Structure 1
Amino acid sequence: MPRRWLLVPLLLLAVLAAAVLWLNLRGEAAIAAGSAPAAGTPGQVARGEYLVRIGNCATCHSVRGGVPWAGGRGIATPFGTVYAGNLTPDDHTGLGRWSADHFWRAMHHGRSFDGRLLYPAFPYPDFSRITREDSDAIYFFLRTLPAVRQPNTPHALDFPYGTQAALAVWRALFFRPGAFEPEPARGAAWNRGAYLVRGLGHCAACHGGRNAFGATPEAGLSLAGGLIPMRNWYAPALNSPGQAGVADWETAHIVALLRDGISPRGTALGPMADVVYRSLQYLRDDDLQAIALFLKSLPQQRDAASSRKPPDPAHRAAGAKLYDAHCADCHGANGQGARSAAGVLIAPALAGNRVVTMEPPANLVRVIVHGGFAPATRGNPRPFGMPPFALALSDAQIAALAGFLRTSWGHDAGAVLPQEVARWRGGAGD
C-alpha cells in the first residue's frame, strides 16, 4: 500500500479531533488574565442564598455527618461514581481562587477552574440556561461560607468514562451551551416558571429520562419521565395525566404539593420528598405559583395501554390476602384511604392512585419495600408514614400484592413479576 494512503486515516482522525475540540469550545470566551475573587453586595448574597435553595445545591455538595457545602457525596451513575466538589472558599480544595468568571464558565460551559471538562452529574446542561446575574449571585453567596479544607474525592468511573477524551466526545454529541429564551406571548409568570423548571431547578435531570450515554433528550427540555439511574425510582412524566401531569389540577393543589409535600391530589415520596424537604418548601409563593402555571401548561400525552397480563387467579387471591393482613387497616377495605378526625391525611387512597397504576411499577414496589414517607414541612410538620415491608414479605409476595393493587377498584394495569421486584427493590433507598 502506498505510504500516502496511510495519511488518510490520520487526516480523518485529525479532522475529527479538531471538530470535537471546536464543539467543546464554541461560544466560550477566554477568562481575562488576573480575574480574581470578588465579594457581592448584601442584596446579591441574599439572592444567591435563595437561588441555591431552588437549585438544591447543598444536597449533593454535602455529605451526611460532614461539613455542609464541603463536598464528598458520591453520585452513583451507570458509569461509576462521581463525587461532588467542595464549594467553600478554601484556596486549596474549594472555590477560594475562583473568580465570578470561573464560576460562570462552570455553570454555563461545564468547565472547572483549570479548564477541565466537568461531568454532567453536575447538571450544567440545565444550569447553562441560567442568567449571568443569577450565576454571579450564587457565586457571591458561596464566597460567604466558612472556608473548609477538605480535599475532593477522586471520581471512581469505569474506563473510558473517566477520561477527558471520552467526556469531550460526549459533550460534542450531547451538549450545547444554552440560554433561556422567554416566550413573550406567555407572560412573565409562565416564563419565570419555565426558567426555574428548565434551568436552576434542573427538573429534566430526573424527569427527562436518559439515553444509553447518560444524556437527557431534547437538550434537557424533555419532561417525559424515566428511571433515575442507580436509584431504581422512576421519575414520572410531567406531561402525562396517567403519571405526574397536573394540567387538570387546581393551581393551589400543585403549590401545596411543591411546598408541603402533600395535597388533595397527591403526596411526594422518595427522591421527590427530598426535593420538597430541602428545596421547594423554601420557595416564595410567587415562584411556586409560576412553576405551577408552567407545569399546568405542558401539552399532555396519553400513555399507551398496558400490555401486561392480569395476574392469574391464584396470585391475585394471594395478593388480596396480603392486602387484608397488611394494608386494609390504614388504606381501607376498598382502597379509599383514611383521614384523622381533624381531616389530616393518614393513608392516601390507593383506588385511582397513579403510583399504583403507573408503568413501570418501580415506585409502587419501592414504596412497599422501603415504606412511604412524606417530607416534614412547615405545612405538614408531622407527616404520617408507611412502614417498610422489605423484611416481612418476599419478592413473590410483593409481586402478588402489587398485582392485586393494580387490578382492583377499576384498575387495569396488570401483574408484576417477582424478578421485577428483585430488580427494583435494591439501589439507594431515598
Structure 2
Amino acid sequence: MSRKVRVLLILIALALAAVATLYFLRPGFLPKNGAAHEANASTQVINKGEYLARAGDCVACHTVPNGPVFAGGRAMATPFGNLYVPNITPDDDTGIGLWTADEFYRMMHTGVSRDGKLLYPAMPFASYTQVTRADSDAIYAYLMSVTPVRQKNREHALRFPFNNRELLIGWRTLYFKEGEFEPVAGRSAEWNRGAYLVRGLGHCAMCHTAVNALGGSSESTAFEGGMIPNQNWYAPSLTSNREAGLGHWSIEEISDLLQVGVSKRGTVYGPMAEVVYNSLQYMTDEDIRAMAVYLKALPQKDSAPPPTSQARLIAPEVMELGRTVYTAQCAMCHGDAGKGQPPSFPILAGNQSITMDTPVNPIRMVLNGGYPPGTQKNPRPHGMPPFSHILNDDEVAAVVTYIRVAWGNNGTPVTAPQVSDLRKLLPE
C-alpha cells in the first residue's frame, strides 16, 4: 500500500471518528448529572392543569376532609338544603372518565353538565365561564391524570321547589352572563392577569359579594362584601377602605396576606384561611402580585362620612368588664394598647376588620379562636385559642365591644344576644 493511500485512509478514519464523536456528544446525549428527563408536551399540560386547578381551589369542594382527592361526596349546605359535590376523578362509572374535553369546557363555560343537566350555582360556573379554552383543556388533562376513585355520587337533598332544576333557567337569566375573559384595553398585562385570576378561576366575588334570597348577586355590587351563606362569616368589602379595601396597603402587604396568610397589616382566618391553605400558597409570586395589583386598583366606594367613636355611648360597667377581660385574656399577645406583635399577633388598634359594621367576625374569633393556615412561607403560624368555654355571653360581648371602641377605634357596641346567636352554631 502506497504512502498516499495510507495517509488517505488515516484521514478518512479520523473524519469518521470526529463525526461519531460529534454525534454522541450532541446535546441530547450529554450527561445530565441525575436531572429529570425533559417533560414532554402532555406532561407540561398536566402540570399546568394541576396549577390551574389549585388556582381554582377545586379540591376544597370536591374532596371530603381526609377522603380521596376529588372523589366528591362533600355536603355543601345552602339555604335551600344540602348539595352533594360530585366525583370528578376519571372513573368511568362514577366520575368524569367518559367525558371529553369539549364536554368539560361546556360545563365550565356554560354550567351545563355532560348529560345536559343545568348545574346549581354553588358550582362557580358564573366565574369559571371566564376561563379560556386552553386553560380548561389543561385542567381537564390534569383531572384525567389523577387516580380514579369509584365512589357513587349522592343525590342532592334540596327542598321543594328548589329541587326542580328547570327553575335554574330563571336564575341564569337574572344572574349568569356567559363569556371568556377579555383583556381590558389600556390596562397592563399584569392587571389583566390579576383580573383573570380574581374574577375567573379564583371566583373571589362569590364570597365577597352579597347574595340575595334567590342565591344570586348583582354585578353592580361585586366585591362590596356580604355574609357567606350557611358559614356565618362575613366576607368584607374589597371596595371600602373601612373594611378590607386595600387602597392604603402596599402591593407587598397584599401579596403576603394572599400567599403567606399573614402580613404586617393583618391575618386571614376562617374561610379565607382555607383558600390560602388549599390554593393561594401554591401560586407563583408573579400571579399573586398580579392579583394584588388588580385588587388594589378596585374602585373605592366610601361616600358616607367616617363614623365616630361610640365609646362615650357605652355604659361604664360594660367598658370596665371588657377592659378587665382584655387585660386577663388578650393583652399578653395583643398588647395593652392593642398594638399587637405583627405579623405573629395582629394589631387591634385601627384594625378595620375589628370595626366593620357587622361584628360577626370578631365575635367568632373570640368564641372559636382563629388559626392562620400553615403555608410554605409560614409553616408554623401563631394561633388564637377559643374562649367559648371560658367566657359567658356578657363577657364576650363586653370584650368585643371594648376592642371595637378602645384606642380610637370607631366600631359599635356588641350585645349578649348577638353572641348567643353565634354560640349556638358552635360544634358540640
Give the residue type in structure 2 aligned to 1:291.
Answer: M
Report SS of the residue matched to 1:385: coil
Deviation at 1:306, TM superposition (A): 5.0
Deviations along 1:362-397, one digit per CA (max 9) or x if unpaired, are: 110111111021111121111111100111112222
Equivalent residue, structure 1, for 2:276:
276
1:140-155 matches, cutoff 5 A: 140-155=141-156
Give the residue type in structure 2 aligned to 1:273.
Answer: A
The answer to whether the Cα contact below 8 Å between 1:224 and 1:239 also exists between their aligned partners in 2 is: yes
User: Which residue, out of 301, 320, 324, partners 1:321?
Assistant: 324
Give the residue type in structure 2 aligned to 1:197.
Answer: V
Equivalent residue, structure 2, for 1:383:
381
Deviation at 1:71, TM superposition (A): 0.4
**Number of aligned positions between the proteins:** 384
Equivalent residue, structure 2, for 1:103:
104
Report SS of the residue matched to 2:362: helix
Counterpart Cα distance in 2 of 1:292 and 1:303: 24
TM-score, structure 1 normalization: 0.86
Deviation at 1:428, TM superposition (A): 7.6
User: Which residue, out of 399, 407, 412, partners 1:409?
Assistant: 407
Give the residue type in structure 1 aligned to 2:57.
Answer: N
Counterpart check, 1:292 vs 2:295: no
Give the residue type in structure 2 aligned to 1:68.
Answer: V
The answer to whether the Cα contact below 8 Å between 1:320 and 1:401 also exists between their aligned partners in 2 is: yes
1:19-418 matches, cutoff 5 A: 41-218=42-219, 222-302=222-302, 304=304, 305-306=306-307, 310-338=313-341, 345-418=343-416
Report SS of the residue matched to 2:83: strand
The answer to whether the Cα contact below 8 Å between 2:261 and 2:373 also exists between their aligned partners in 1 is: yes
From the superposition, tell whether residues 387 and 57 of structure 1 become closer, same or farther in structure 2 (CA, over 3 Å).
same
Report SS of the residue matched to 2:82: strand
Counterpart Cα distance in 2 of 1:373 and 1:102: 40
From the superposition, tell whether residues 84 and 172 of structure 1 become closer, same or farther in structure 2 (CA, over 3 Å).
same
Deviation at 1:214, TM superposition (A): 0.8
Deviations along 1:378-424, one digit per CA (max 9) or x if unpaired, are: 21111111100111112222111111111100012110112222233
Counterpart Cα distance in 2 of 1:98 and 1:336: 55
Equivalent residue, structure 1, for 2:419:
421
Deviations along 1:62-91, one digit per CA (max 9) or x if unpaired, are: 001211110011111111111111010111
Counterpart Cα distance in 2 of 1:416 and 1:313: 14
Counterpart Cα distance in 2 of 1:376 and 1:337: 20
The answer to whether the Cα contact below 8 Å between 2:194 and 2:294 also exists between their aligned partners in 1 is: yes
Deviations along 1:120-176, one digit per CA (max 9) or x if unpaired, are: 101000001111111111011100011111011111111111111222222222222
Counterpart Cα distance in 1 of 2:203 and 2:426: 20
Q: What is the percent sequence identity of the aligned residues?
A: 48
The answer to whether the Cα contact below 8 Å between 1:89 and 1:148 also exists between their aligned partners in 2 is: yes
The answer to whether the Cα contact below 8 Å between 1:373 and 1:385 also exists between their aligned partners in 2 is: yes
Give the residue type in structure 1 aligned to 2:120.
Answer: Y
* Structure 1 stretches lacking a partner, 5+ long: 1-39, 340-344
Counterpart Cα distance in 2 of 1:139 and 1:202: 18
Deviation at 1:227, TM superposition (A): 0.4
Superposition CA RMSD, Å: 1.8
From the superposition, tell whether residues 132 and 123 of structure 1 become closer, same or farther in structure 2 (CA, over 3 Å).
same
Deviation at 1:355, TM superposition (A): 1.8
Counterpart Cα distance in 2 of 1:209 and 1:181: 25
Deviation at 1:97, TM superposition (A): 1.0
Deviates more, 1:268-277 or 1:305-314: 305-314
Counterpart Cα distance in 2 of 1:104 and 1:400: 52
Counterpart Cα distance in 1 of 2:240 and 2:420: 27
Deviations along 1:232-261, one digit per CA (max 9) or x if unpaired, are: 100011111111111221111111111111
Counterpart Cα distance in 1 of 2:354 and 2:139: 39
The answer to whether the Cα contact below 8 Å between 2:46 and 2:142 also exists between their aligned partners in 1 is: yes
Counterpart Cα distance in 1 of 2:410 and 2:365: 20
Counterpart Cα distance in 2 of 1:389 and 1:154: 38
Report SS of the residue matched to 2:76: strand
Report SS of the residue matched to 1:373: coil
The answer to whether the Cα contact below 8 Å between 2:309 and 2:410 also exists between their aligned partners in 1 is: no
